[in-house]
């Protein structure tokens, strides 16, 4: 789709019931257009986010935009809000507890992101553990009020397993 005329004449599959946005290195304006038309014009079409991470590590101390930016682009273009089926969303933990008969008071989550992993645990009453080998830095952690911090912070996941 390289012109307004092409966008205007775009035909969408009427059987589409959901638009799923996940990490996609080929995400483009054309895909935003198609997704927004589906969401605006197809009755009952739902926007689903596989995650809403704002950034991800790519190595060497660099960060890249996360899927959250892609999700927001489609949300804004379509005038809707995505159902977040990942950590930090309201859907995942009840599903996991129901499917695997988990007792949240006896369940722990270990994750390197405050905005997804630890948020999921805090939302569901899980024990939370943050290794400092991922996205969240010690500086970021220390800037948070105590009520938002994980139960335990470790230097790395290897430390939990007793590895060097």
65/14 same-domain check = yes
80/27 same-domain check = yes
12/75 same-domain check = yes
Give the pLDDT confidence score for residue 72 in this predicted structure: 98
60/20 same-domain check = yes
**Higher pLDDT, residue 157 or 35:** 35
Residue 94 included in any domain: no
Q: pLDDT, tens digit, for every residue of 58-89?
A: 878 788 999 999 999 999 999 999 999 988 77
77/14 same-domain check = yes
CATH number at residue 146: 3.40.50.1000
Residue 89 included in any domain: no
Pairing of the two strands 152-154 and 127-131: parallel
Query: Last residue of a domain, which of 23, 51, 84?
Result: 84
- Residue 120, pLDDT above cutoff 70: yes
Pairing of the two strands 62-65 and 55-59: antiparallel
Residue 73 included in any domain: yes
Q: How far is CA 161 from the centre of its chain?
A: 27
Q: What is the DSSP string of 92-155?
A: HHHHHHHHHT--GGG-EEE-S-IIIIIHHHHHHT-EEEEETTSS--HHHHHTS-GGGS-SEEES
- Residue 5, pLDDT above cutoff 80: no
Q: Domain of residue 149: give its range.
A: 103-159
Residue 97 included in any domain: no
Considering the chain, what is the average pLDDT of its residues?
A: 91
In the structure, what pLDDT confidence band is assigned to residue 2 with cuts at 50, 70 and 90? low
Give the pLDDT confidence score for residue 46 in this predicted structure: 98
Note the pTM of the prediction, 2 decimals. Answer: 0.78
Query: Last residue of a domain, which of 84, 114, 143?
Result: 84
In the structure, what pLDDT confidence band is assigned to residue 1 with cuts at 50, 70 and 90? low
Mean pLDDT value across residues 39-61? 91
108/80 same-domain check = no
- Residue 98, pLDDT above cutoff 90: yes
Give the pLDDT confidence score for residue 91 in this predicted structure: 86
80/107 same-domain check = no
In the structure, what pLDDT confidence band is assigned to residue 24 with cuts at 50, 70 and 90? very high
């Amino acid at each position: 789709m390289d012109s307004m005329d092409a966008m205007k004449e775009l035909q969408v599959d009427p059987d589409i019931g959901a638009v799923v946005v996940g990490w996609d290195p080929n995400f483009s304006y054309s895909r935003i257009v198609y997704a927004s038309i589906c969401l605006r014009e197809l009755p009952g079409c739902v926007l689903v986010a596989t995650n809403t991470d704002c950034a991800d590590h790519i190595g060497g101390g660099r960060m890249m935009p996360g899927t959250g930016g892609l999700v927001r682009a489609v949300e804004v273009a379509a005038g809707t809000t995505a159902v977040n089926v990942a950590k930090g969303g309201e859907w995942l933990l009840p599903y996991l507890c129901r499917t695997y008969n988990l007792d949240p008071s006896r369940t722990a989550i270990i994750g390197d992101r405050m905005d997804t992993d630890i948020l999921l645990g805090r939302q569901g009453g899980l024990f939370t553990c943050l290794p400092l080998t991922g996205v969240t830095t010690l500086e970021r952690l220390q800037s948070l009020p105590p009520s938002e911090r994980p139960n335990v912070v470790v230097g790395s996941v290897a430390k939990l397993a007793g590895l060097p």
